[in-house]
Amino acid sequence: MTQLALVIDLNVCVGCHACVTNCKQWNTSGEAGPLVDENPYGKDPTGTFFNRVQTFEVGEFPHTETVHFPKSCLHCEDPPCVPVCPTGASYKREEDGIVLVDYDKCIGCKYCAWACPYGAREIDEKQKVMKKCTLCVDRIYDESLPEPERKPACVLACPTSARLFGDVHDPESEVSIAIREQGGYPLMPEWGTQPSNHYLPRRKTKMKIHKDELVRVDNPLKKDGHLPKVDENESFLEDSASW
């Protein structure tokens, strides 16, 4: 079984919001109609987004670290938002594990949003239906797009490649390897939702350079002693033609 998901590398995310912008652009232009924006240029702009980037400061000054934290639906393997939906508008796809909302069935009761511990669902105040990340389901299977572009809009937009996309059930996929080898973790594991999206932790990148690495004792040039020597006074043919 396939389970598509995102893996987000907190070590490289710079909090630029490119994923937020591209997500909004793609998903507000799709068949499902716009994602609402209220007062976009007014005092209190608000609207529906599938993806948001938050920023946290960890530690106490001056020993602090800034963590930019992109946040969207985690496409849980055991999604608590699905069984509570009274209409069946919320569902998890068998074939690829994406959790979706059927906007034509949703009655806008918001019960699913209450049942998601992550706050990943946002109602569209204009269409009055529940919306959430679709993993760009209208993009990743679109054969009219060139193969490398069949990825969620956020993944394509990220300038630092902090967002990986793939099948977390395939142990050899890029995302599975990243989770396995870089300590990928799920959010709020205490509720047993088994989020498919994982996060890669901040890492300290340190390099220890030893003296003998700067001046190598076994420097082949020095060792072999065959440095070509040039006689500065030797004259060449072109010397006679220059001044």
Nearest approach, Cβ of residue 34 and other proteins (Å): 16
# binding residues, ligand SF4 (CB under 6 A): 27
Buried b (16+ CB within 10 A) or exposed e, 204-218: eeeeeeeeeeeeeee
Cα torsion 88, 94, 99, 105 to 10°: value is: -30
| Nearest residue to 48 (alpha-carbon basis) of 70, 59, 67, 33 | 33
Buried b (16+ CB within 10 A) or exposed e, 162-174: bbbbbbbbeeebe
Does the protein bind other proteins through residue 111 (CB under 8 A)?
yes
| Nearest residue to 198 (alpha-carbon basis) of 6, 1, 4, 2 | 6
Asked if residues 198 and 184 have their Cβ atoms less than 8 Å apart, the reply is yes
DSSP H helices, 8-78, are 18-28
Among 12, 16, 32, 115, which residue interacts with other proteins (rule: CB under 8 A)?
A: 115
Does the protein bind ligand SF4 through residue 107 (CB under 6 A)?
yes
Part of the chain binding other proteins (CB under 8 A), chosen from 26-34, 116-124, 135-143, 167-175? 116-124
> Quick one: what does residue 179 bind among ligand SF4, other proteins, none, with the CB cut-off 5 to 8 Å set by partner type?
none
Residues 76-95 that bind ligand SF4 (CB under 6 A): 76, 79-81, 85, 87, 89-90
Residues 50-89 that bind other proteins (CB under 8 A): 52-60, 66-67, 69, 71, 80, 82-89
CA–CA distance, 212 with 148 (Å, rounded to integer): 44
> Which two three-digit tokens encode residue 42?
């007014």
Asked if residues 9 and 162 have their Cβ atoms less than 8 Å apart, the reply is yes
Part of the chain binding other proteins (CB under 8 A), chosen from 92-100, 108-116, 140-148, 174-182? 108-116
Of 180 and 223, which CB lies nearer to other proteins in the complex structure? 180
> Quick one: what does residue 154 bind among ligand SF4, other proteins, none, with the CB cut-off 5 to 8 Å set by partner type?
none
> Quick one: what does residue 78 bind among other proteins, ligand SF4, none, with the CB cut-off 5 to 8 Å set by partner type?
none
Binding site for ligand SF4 (CB under 6 A): 73-76, 79-81, 85, 87, 89-90, 99, 101, 106-112, 116, 118, 120-121, 130, 132, 193
